[in-house]
A and B are shown apart, each in its own frame.
Chain A
Amino acid sequence: MAIEVERPVGEQQRDLSPGLDLAWLNLPDGEWGVRAEPGRKGLTLDAIAAGRAGVVPEASRNYSMRLRGVREGKGTLRVSPYTSPSQSDVWSDNAMMLYEEAVQRQWSSATDIPWISIQPLRDDVEFAMCQLCTFLTEVEFIAGDTPGKWLPRISPDYYEVGMFLTTQIMDEARHEDVFRKRALVNGGGLLQQGPGYGLRKILEAADFTEMSALMHVQGEGFVQSMFRMGELLGQNDAEKRIFRLCAQDESRHLAFGVMHLKYTIEKEPWRREEIHAYLDKSERDLAEGTDISFIPVFEAISVLLGGGKEHFDEGAQKFMAIRKKQVNEYMHRLEVAGLGDRRERMVPELAVYLDPPR
């Protein structure tokens, strides 16, 4: 049944339906007829970012949880003190795509890991895997808590970012859970807690870009580089698959962080020095022997890479190769984000691993 639009629809229908307000029926004509169409990947966020709903404002004073494009209500209450008044504070051009990819690529630690492939290991190797898993469980705890802290502070004008963060919360819960499962499935157990200094830095961050640079680009970047060596660390199909699936998830988090940093630096180039200052601080902590240099973790990884305590030195050399890879990939990501000058500013303890510029 078509409705005439000579005067507001709500008013017409109020006459026909006494007692009803029907103001909500009075949708602006200009917004009708825009029809999002499913594409090859289904009906994605990208597909519905059309018309008014797709116009992302550079500044936001949206305090009522009104997702972008929704019409303001009369007398609607403000509900949140957002700290992201501008797009460049939080935006990443790949957030929509990463959200959909994350939803598609969820996996189950209960059923997608071939736990049956885990057989008793030598005690030193089992200890080493359990120590590494204890450490990784902690890392994933904080990587899940942090986006939770930020989600309520992001304006729903940039809801795709908020939604991406919820996928990260889900991913990290699964990682925390899968490493805990691995620690408890083969007769070992949870071992030594790490110091957590670097993790705390992530939680302490008072600015979204600072948090993202520390967590997504630096922290998850280092972890990602390690996960990609999972074929060497894993002793069986289950562990190799764990590292592979986690690496796949971390890639999304990392991609968000790199593209957010790039967006911020492009839109607000005056923030470059500020961002360098965040990295100065966190690299210093990294180099001063915090989480990623925690002795039990270093030794555990070396034992795993070497194939046992008696091959510790050989494993330690491989560990240094991983560290070199971590630092160089970190530098590469910063170059992609537009922070190539970091090469000259990186703390010496990390810069020593840098390859010559390409």
Chain B
Amino acid sequence: MTSKNTEQFDAATGPRDRLTLTSGERFAWMTNEHTEWGIRARPGERGLRLADINIGSYGEAPDVWPYDTEIPRGALPNDTAEGMGYSIFEKQEVWAESCAELYEDAIQARWVSATDIPWASLAPLPREIEAAVCQLSTDLSQRAYAAGACVSGWLQQISYGYLEVKSYLATQIFEHSRHAEAFRKRTLANGGALGIEPPNAFTQRCMEAMNFSEALLCIDVLEAAFQVTLFEAGDELAHNDAERELYRRSLGDKLRHLQYGRDHLAWIAQHAPQRSKELQRYLAKAEHALVADLEQPISSEPLIVLFGGGLDSIDRGAARLHALRRAQVERYLQTLREAGFDHDAFPLHSHLAAFVEQPVEA
């Protein structure tokens, strides 16, 4: 049907009077033979959300998606359509039960760094404090930008059977961007300067991922668990309302990233348990890369200075950083447990294990 009608329209394109000559098969598409005619999505209290339109066959994300084209799930296939180069056709590779809700939540929780952060609350800080804020913000900004670039590279690989995942990932990419610019703005808004780039061991690991779950375990499980815990400590780190608000808003976004990572892992644990040892490898490599970054002075020292309140209270700052690291590792392990993925089956990186095992000194 398609080619024939297309040819007819080719002939008609241009001179307007020929358009009416396409009557041979006119309105052939106007049939409810292949639709669920009469099925009707209803807006709920929170509007018409993605989950609300997952009705009938339109809502069924199959275990395996058979099309390499851009066909919307539930539409009538066009057999002349060419492939679009997707490489992900299995639900277990990308799915998380929460992604449709996370997509809508992300949109509702949107914020604007230019106007939602009370930048006017910034006031001059002691130089070592300002430098520490700048170094930490430089680190967070670059990691966010890298995470967004990494996730966005996967978008084109995911076929449209899993549109809820793609939609959610769009919000996450957007949020990574917002974190990148918001922390960059903080760096440049108070008389300080951009700091030193992070060593990139972890970013390299993210970029090296050869499948989506591997990348996701890095960004939305391990790194997200660490950053959620860091942002939860935002009130301690902040010196003004702008920083407090920046950490608070970023925390909201990051919690969704972590939930998606956790729920994706849970989906794999339930539906593709044979991948368990494969995922252990990815996690072990991600932990190794993270530790390589954490061991660098630029990762730890700004936090020591901020927690200590300056260079005069290094010991106090170091103890508080130790407590933070412990909480970060525990959050990571808790996330794995919630996903039904037991880290006891393989060893935690010794550097991370040490944070959990060693008592925190006051």
Residue numbers of A with Cβ under 8 A of B are 1-3, 9, 13, 16-17, 20-25, 27-28, 31-38, 41-45, 47-48, 50-53, 64-67, 69-73, 75-80, 99-100, 103-104, 106, 108-111, 113, 115-116, 124, 127-128, 130-131, 134, 137-138, 141-142, 144-149, 151-152, 156, 159, 162-163, 165-167, 169-170, 172-174, 176-177, 180-181, 184-197, 199-200, 203, 287-289, 293-296, 298-300, 302, 309, 312-313, 316-317, 319-320, 349, 352-353
A79 to B58, CA, bound (A): 39
Q: Closest Cβ of chain B: how far from A163's Cβ, in Å?
A: 5
**B188 on the A face (CB < 8 A):** yes
Q: Closest Cβ of chain A: how far from B291's Cβ, in Å?
A: 15
Residues of chain A within 8 A of B39, CB atoms compared: 184, 187, 189
Which B-chain residue is minimally distant from A313 (CB atoms)?
Answer: B20
A320 to B19, CA, bound (A): 9
A249 to B303, CA, bound (A): 40
Q: Closest Cβ of chain A: how far from B302's Cβ, in Å?
A: 7
**B155 on the A face (CB < 8 A):** yes
A253 to B153, CA, bound (A): 20
Contact A293:B9 (CB < 8 A) given known A24-B196, A148-B173, A163-B181: yes
Contact A45:B181 (CB < 8 A) given known A33-B191, A111-B47: yes
A131 to B28, CA, bound (A): 12
Q: Closest Cβ of chain A: how far from B163's Cβ, in Å?
A: 7
A45 to B145, CA, bound (A): 15
Q: Closest Cβ of chain B: how far from A43's Cβ, in Å?
A: 5
**Which residues B29-66 have CB closer than 8 A to chain A?**
29-30, 32, 34-41, 43, 46-50, 53, 55, 58
Choose among B7, B15, B112, B191 the residue that contacts A32 (Cβ–Cβ < 8 A).
B191
CB pair B177–A111 under 8 Å, yes or no, is no
Which B-chain residue is minimally distant from A113 (CB atoms)?
Answer: B48
Stretch of B89-97, B130-138, B221-229, B249-257 that contacts chain A: B130-138
Q: Closest Cβ of chain B: how far from A201's Cβ, in Å?
A: 10
CB pair A148–B196 under 8 Å, yes or no, is no
Residues of chain B within 8 A of A134, CB atoms compared: 72, 75
Residues of chain B within 8 A of A174, CB atoms compared: 107
Q: Closest Cβ of chain B: how far from A27's Cβ, in Å?
A: 5
**B76 on the A face (CB < 8 A):** yes
CB pair A24–B298 under 8 Å, yes or no, is yes
Contact A295:B107 (CB < 8 A) given known A45-B181, A65-B145, A194-B78: no
A32 to B302, CA, bound (A): 17
Number of interface residues of B (CB under 8 A): 124
Which A-chain residue is minimally distant from B115 (CB atoms)?
Answer: A42
Stretch of B199-207, B232-240, B261-269 that contacts chain A: B199-207
Contact A24:B13 (CB < 8 A) given known A190-B72, A196-B84: no
CB pair B198–A73 under 8 Å, yes or no, is yes
- The 4 A-B pairs with the shortest beta carbon distances in the complex, nearest first, are A42-B114, A148-B155, A173-B170, A110-B47
Main secondary structure of the interface of B (DSSP, over half): helix
Contact A159:B58 (CB < 8 A) given known A73-B198, A170-B174: no
Residues of chain A within 8 A of B150, CB atoms compared: 152
CB pair B176–A176 under 8 Å, yes or no, is no
Contact A144:B155 (CB < 8 A) given known A193-B75, A295-B9: yes
Q: Closest Cβ of chain A: how far from B74's Cβ, in Å?
A: 5
Q: Closest Cβ of chain A: how far from B80's Cβ, in Å?
A: 5
A111 to B10, CA, bound (A): 40
**B280 on the A face (CB < 8 A):** no
Chain B 140-157 interface 0/1 with A at a Cβ cutoff of 8 Å (1 = within) = 011001101110111110
CB pair B199–A73 under 8 Å, yes or no, is yes
**B342 on the A face (CB < 8 A):** no
CB pair B127–A1 under 8 Å, yes or no, is yes
Residues of chain B within 8 A of A172, CB atoms compared: 170
CB pair A43–B78 under 8 Å, yes or no, is no
Which B-chain residue is minimally distant from A167 (CB atoms)?
Answer: B174
A77 to B36, CA, bound (A): 53
**B339 on the A face (CB < 8 A):** no
Contact A170:B170 (CB < 8 A) given known A186-B40, A189-B35, A293-B6: yes
CB pair A137–B48 under 8 Å, yes or no, is no
CB pair A196–B41 under 8 Å, yes or no, is no
Which B-chain residue is minimally distant from A290 (CB atoms)?
Answer: B6
Choose among B58, B114, B149 the residue that contacts A184 (Cβ–Cβ < 8 A).
B58
CB pair B37–A181 under 8 Å, yes or no, is no
**B184 on the A face (CB < 8 A):** yes
A256 to B253, CA, bound (A): 27
Contact A1:B128 (CB < 8 A) given known A67-B184, A170-B173, A173-B167: yes
Residues of chain A within 8 A of B113, CB atoms compared: 42-43, 103
Q: Closest Cβ of chain A: how far from B245's Cβ, in Å?
A: 12
A115 to B48, CA, bound (A): 8
A28 to B132, CA, bound (A): 14
Residues of chain B within 8 A of A137, CB atoms compared: 72
CB pair B314–A17 under 8 Å, yes or no, is yes
11 contacts between A and B (CB under 8 A): A13-B128, A35-B190, A42-B112, A65-B146, A66-B142, A69-B194, A116-B43, A141-B70, A189-B58, A193-B72, A193-B75
